A = this chain, B = another copy of it.
């Protein structure tokens, strides 16, 4: 095969891989949003078949010939195709190391586990979920050993969500965070508390739905390509740049919860919506890693969404939809949206204590993958870590170890992306401010300036660069968590008048 033929074959192969991923993604989305309980049986069958077929497609003779041809012509390839060749080689190595039966059995395991986890959480009964979690952990360890026997198994897990991230990097990163954040949290605890009781005003869900639409307008989310669904645990599913689904959950007495989940998921969506058109239906379409993805979502949620300017921007809309809020000023609302207090639920946590929730999970994952703890002891460990890191008692498994869906879907190694993404976001803000008045853009409802900046430096590149390289290009230098800790210190010193 010459280069042209090779790339044509590669495009065809990647389109087929896209189709399998898309079909399985829609099956999962359907499961999360509407599917009846009994659907677990046919979905398990279909997921099993499709994952086997997609495994065979990606590892079969055709794919191998393409990979060989890519390697043969490597020097003649464009930078885009070089990256595709690299990604393909990585994928081939990973998949071929795992026997197809194990690959298929694992896809069925996580299909079942997602359903069992939901039930276990509803009943606050960890015992139901324990055997599934045990099998998922065992599978992850086994896959790590098969694919990268040279690597620490937890490094392998981290690398699945943030290419190149390691335990060593995490340790250093979390150490820096701890050193700066823990004293700051202590100071906040000692400061005069902020009254945020008023945000728990009754805000009818129909009106919150309207607020969500307004938020999507402000963020510039095109409705023809992005819709908002309602689920128990909000997530984003970017099938392609033409079809991105965001979700939220409404609580009548907590409009900030859905407001910030819409902004968070909207940040994910913007990233997926703006991959370069050239990358459509190839391995370069869509966000490169969960760390970069979370950098966009948490940038939008916190750095933009919880800024004084954004709260001021949305304030008139809030008063229109919920007139009782008028008894409180923009400044009061801004401070209420930034109350920093150790709490129980990660997704509801404030910007300052949030990284501690991640560190709990990071410690848990290290122990699980390291085999240092029995699955039966995990709730106890979780609760002890919450006491140690956040100083709070976990009343039950529902709000403890069962609160997040990630592990039920096999997502061990994902959580550190959230903290890393938050830190990326702060460094992006620093850089963005060198180029234009970010606060002014928010104040004037010109988020398009922010979007254009991010599109130009992050979004349009899809998966073209490795995460660390992409961020360094955007930062104009190496990643440094000090921008994040500086940001947190500045913000919460000001909010709490420390």
Contacts and interface: CB of A to CB of B under 8 A. Distances in A.
A229 B33 CA distance: 11
A45 interface: yes
Nearest to A29: B30
Nearest to A21: B46
A30 B26 contact: yes
16 contacts: A15-B45, A19-B46, A19-B49, A22-B42, A23-B46, A29-B30, A33-B34, A34-B227, A35-B227, A36-B225, A36-B245, A37-B223, A38-B222, A39-B243, A41-B243, A53-B53
A226 interface: yes
Contact of A45 (B18, B33, B40): B18
A224 B23 contact: no
B30 A45 contact: no
Given A18-B49, A35-B227, 7 more contacts: A23-B50, A30-B30, A34-B229, A35-B243, A38-B242, A39-B242, A41-B243
Interface in A235-272: 239-240, 242-243, 245
Given A19-B49, A19-B50, A30-B30, A37 B224 contact: yes
A117 interface: no
> How many chain copies?
2
A224 B38 contact: yes
Interface in A1-57: 15-16, 18-19, 22-24, 26-27, 29-30, 33-43, 45-46, 48-50, 53
Contact of A26 (B27, B38, B242): B27
A281 interface: yes
Interface in A216-238: 222-227, 229
A36 B229 contact: no
A216 to B, nearest CB: 12
B223 A36 contact: yes
Nearest to A40: B242
B229 A38 contact: no
A278 to B, nearest CB: 15
Contacts of A226: 36
